[in-house]
Structure 1
Amino acid sequence: MKAVIYYRGSLTSCNYDCPYCPFGKRRDSTATLAQDQKHLERFVEWVREQAAEKHQLSIFFNPYGEALIHRWYRHALAELSSMDHVEKIAIQTNLSARLDFVDQLKNHKVTFWASYHPGQVQPTSFLQQCQFLYERGVSFTVGSVGVHSAFAAITELRANLPKDVYVWVNAYKDKPDYYSDKDIEFLKSIDPLFGLNLMDYDSQGKSCMAGVNVFYVQASGRVKRCYKDRAVIGDLYRDGLVKLSQKRSCRMNTCDCYIGYIHLPELELENVYGSGLLERNPRL
């Protein structure tokens, strides 16, 4: 089976304090961190075992908070990138960690979904981290939440990154009618595909690859078809991918997040993003 696995461990902490995020400046206990490391190591070992099952896997780490400040995530990326049956590994990160570990990675497999948070980091520091990845040939995209207060920072970010680094913008949807037509025009000048993210897609009852060959795995091994659908469809370590895989229509009214709606077949977004679908790197 060719499958995509989203993995979210036990972390609920971050070294940033973004006002729109509930995990800012929270610290996990020593016990929670130890449990998170144990869970991740178990997951990596399970991935290793899938070579014998002839599965081809792409893995996306989307933790609550920042993962790369913890050594076990850096070690996991290196291990996974060495596995022949693992085609791609992506991770959401604010790039605040030391990045010299990337020299241990198979660069063609690992890509960074780098989130820029104005007010949490100096622009020059963030750009230096991006340049570090760029000079080493490590794939990455950069993005930010499109709140009004970030417009100037997003403009500066786009102007100072290499032209072939894609900059995406997440639409701020907590307030209705948040954007004027002028705002949308500006954000499309930064991210030509901003209009795709601005929409909420009617999804209830519709076909989705979530639960078929896309799985959302929690730290303990519990599997959900979608990160927003709370229903548990099985256990990764007990059931395995073949048993977990079933056609399941969407139970949610709408799908409004990139990591969800890209798996709706009717949108055909593989035609827009090509091989960069997972990490949001379109072929423009």
Structure 2
Amino acid sequence: MPARVSLYYRGSLSSCNYACPYCPFSKTVDSRETLERDRQQLDRFVDWVRQQAHKPYRLSIFFNPYGEALVHGWYRRAMVELSHLPHVDKVAVQTNLSVKLDWTMELNRDKVAFWATYHPGQTSEAQFVGQCMTLYEHGIAFSAGTVGLRESFAAIRSLRQQLPADVYVWVNAFKDRPAYYEPGEVEELEAIDPYFRYNLTDYASLGQSCLAGESVFYVQGNGMVKRCYQDKRVIGNIYRHELEQIAAERPCQMKTCGCYIGYIHMPDGPFAHQYGERLLERIPLRYEAQAHYNRV
């Protein structure tokens, strides 16, 4: 069993307070019953994490729901508690940063990180940058970025200009249309995000080594575990099996992998060297080093 384990957690939540046209979850409205089920699932998961204190492995946890998590108090409370557990190394979340951030003062800042997504058209640049700067001034690690739609290029350039140089601004490649970018556009986005070309690539992954299912697990609200968010196979359940029983070397069974939270766990790739301990929250070492320099 690896000494360090990463868990991606995704409960029943499937709704968002934004309505981005390219996102299917913006068109979902969760019922009270669904939200209550999501809360109960998260409470059970946090309790399970508490019970892992005696295990020989340490945990890093990433919340990436089908929707916006932090508008719900149970996710904020979970992040606060988990960040203070001695056997938890990291708690990260994917968020649009639309909520008040006063609660972040309760977090263990040495262990938390935010993957903040800017959605032009759903919020103003001033509002999003202001939220980012709150995290920055509080010493909370974060990366920020957006989807690389052609109509968003000006907003992406402006976001890069508005944020401090030691904050990594990423661009997610828009892959819904084949050959979407012209060569000059790739270079333009690469000037903003030096790792954009890596995200633009779909990696041949069938039969390739991957840490998914070995030290990286995708946990659903009911406890079911999949090796990867794309792989539909269920490999266990954290409430019925010990994690040591679930963990095993499992080569990829998908033809390609093109999403950041998937391909970064292919050990033959360059990503561990690019991101180091900040792999989950998407902060490259070059930015982490600069941020550390600016703090001291």
Q: What is the TM-score normalised by the length of structure 1?
A: 0.99
- Give the corresponding residue for 1:201: 203
Alpha-carbon separation, structure 1, partners of 2:25 and 2:173: 19
Q: Which structure 2 residues correspond to residues 76-95 of structure 1 after superposition, within 5 A? A: 76-95=78-97
Ranges of 4+ aligned residues in structure 1 off by more than 6 Å: none
- Give the corresponding residue for 1:244: 246
AA matched with 2:88: V
Cα deviation digits, residues 25-69 of structure 1 (max 9, x gap): 532111111110000000001011101123200001001010000
- Give the corresponding residue for 1:109: 111
- Give the corresponding residue for 2:45: 43
Alpha-carbon separation, structure 2, partners of 1:71 and 1:126: 20
Alpha-carbon separation, structure 2, partners of 1:212 and 1:46: 19
Tell me, yes or no, if structure 1 residue 132 matches structure 2 residue 134: yes
Unaligned runs of 5+ in 1: none
- Give the corresponding residue for 1:19: 21
Alpha-carbon separation, structure 2, partners of 1:277 and 1:235: 25
Offset of 1:278 from its aligned partner? 1.1
Unaligned runs of 5+ in 2: 287-296
Q: Helix, strand or coil for the counterpart of 2:229? A: coil
AA matched with 1:145: V
Cα deviation digits, residues 195-238 of structure 1 (max 9, x gap): 11010000001111000000000000000000000110111111
- Give the corresponding residue for 1:145: 147
- Give the corresponding residue for 1:263: 265
Alpha-carbon separation, structure 1, partners of 2:146 and 2:242: 35
AA matched with 2:275: Y
Alpha-carbon separation, structure 2, partners of 1:200 and 1:16: 28
Alpha-carbon separation, structure 2, partners of 1:105 and 1:158: 27
Cα deviation digits, residues 115-134 of structure 1 (max 9, x gap): 00000001111111111111
AA matched with 2:242: G
Given candidates 98, 118, 121, the residue that maps to 1:119 is 121
Cα deviation digits, residues 120-159 of structure 1 (max 9, x gap): 0011111111111111111110010001011000011000
Alpha-carbon separation, structure 2, partners of 1:255 and 1:24: 24
Task: Give percent identity, aligned residues only.
Answer: 56
Aligned length: 284
- Give the corresponding residue for 2:277: 275
- RMSD value, Cα: 0.8
Tell me, yes or no, if structure 1 residue 188 matches structure 2 residue 190: yes
